[in-house]
Amino acid sequence: MSDRRAIPRAALFLLLVFPPAVGATTYKIDPDHTNVSFHVRHLFTSVTGRFEKFEGVIRLDDHDPAKTTVEGSIDAASINTNVARRDNPLRSPDFFDVEKFPKITFKTTSVSDIDAAAKTSKLHGVLTIHGVEKPVVLDAAFLGSGKDPAGNQRAGFHASTTINRKDFGLNWNKALESGGFLVGDEVKIDIDAEGVAAP
């Protein structure tokens, strides 16, 4: 009898001393509450655009944030700058060439500069645009998590980075009579994402 009691006591002792590791929570991006936007110079000001169709998964590891991973995919043809005569050329072979390269993708390779108090980090990964893969670093922030009115676990995230479009073969431009070019090379990308935890 005493041996049978010793087993659960030993198990309880192990749980108290060595609690089970907290695994990662998988969040699927909710497109209705997520925005993928970009900003690029045009002449003397800037144009803001967005992508309407995308998907992604964030595996957030609260126990070990360095193990957090992110994967995302954007439908390049869903680009929208609110001007059709600009969006159609952006989909053409002069820019994104969406028929040949329909997807823009990102996948993390590592996480660094983790600030637990500020809930920020840097996401290192591979960005693929126009069929060209390049390493990029995103400044990321965890905005919080909790239950929505329907009882679903949700979490919010923000990430941003700046790339040179020419690094990805997006080279089209037009020289100005006054000097310089019509479109800037640097593109700032901002992502405000809300994810729903997988059941």
Higher pLDDT, 186 or 177: 186
Dist. CA 87–CA 71, nearest whole Å: 26
User: What would the mean pLDDT of 177-184 be, rounded to a whole number?
Assistant: 70
User: pLDDT at residue 11 above 70?
Assistant: no
Model confidence band, residue 179 (pLDDT cutoffs 50, 70, 90): low
Q: Which fold has domain 21-197?
A: Lipocalin (2.40.128)
pLDDT digits (tens, 9 = 90+) for 93-130: 999 999 999 999 999 999 999 999 999 999 999 999 99
Model confidence band, residue 177 (pLDDT cutoffs 50, 70, 90): low
Residues 67-103: b if buried by 16+ CB within 10 A, e if exposed: ebbbebbbebbbbebeeeeebeebbeeebbbbeebee
Q: What is the pTM of this model?
A: 0.84
Domain ranges (residues) in the chain: 21-197
